[in-house]
Amino acid sequence: MTLNAENFFPCSSKDLNFLLKKVIALCYWDEQEKVISQIEDHCTRGIAETEEYKKLMPKFYQETKEHIPELEGKVTQYERMVERIQEDKKNTKGQKKKDLAAVLKKAKEELKTAKSHLRNTEAKCKEYVRKFEESSKKIERYKQNLEILKQRK
């Protein structure tokens, strides 16, 4: 019997116990040890892979976080630009007012783009923190699964 461990692990202790009961019920004695060994190998590899992945998250977070002050500066710059153009537009007439309207439109588009980049960068930072925390939980589940398997032997 072969078990596709990636579909099941890591899992809760309740799910692991249920799965082991089913495996034991369906396997011959010599196959039971083989399947349990496969699960142990999968959990061990899973811990190693997840720890490697987890190590990358702080690096990605830091690299992304470094861009936030620059993006905040751009947003502030464009906000000031829009304010100045709006003030100039109020105090002018004729063709110059039409020209300022076009410049104002362009500045607002740039402001919108800068704000969008800032939001996306902040969202990436939050995503890296979330992935780091998920990795920690996943490693703990793998370790719990290994403990249960060792107790079964």
Average pLDDT of every residue of the chain: 88
pTM of the model: 0.76
What is the structure's pLDDT at 3? 61
For residue range 105-131, what is the model confidence (pLDDT) as tens digits? 999 999 999 999 999 999 999 999 999
For residue range 21-45, what is the model confidence (pLDDT) as tens digits? 777 777 776 777 787 888 888 889 9
What is the structure's pLDDT at 137? 94
Length of the chain: 153
CB 111 within 8 A of CB 82: yes
- In the 8-state DSSP scheme, what is residue 10? S
Say yes or no to pLDDT of 81 above 90.
Answer: yes
What is the structure's pLDDT at 4? 65
* DSSP secondary structure letters along 34-94: HHHHHHHHHHHHHHHHHHHHHHHHHHHHHHHHTTHHHHHHHHHHHHHHHHHHHHHHHT--T
Say yes or no to pLDDT of 47 above 90.
Answer: yes
The alpha carbons of the chain give a radius of gyration, in whole angstroms, of 28
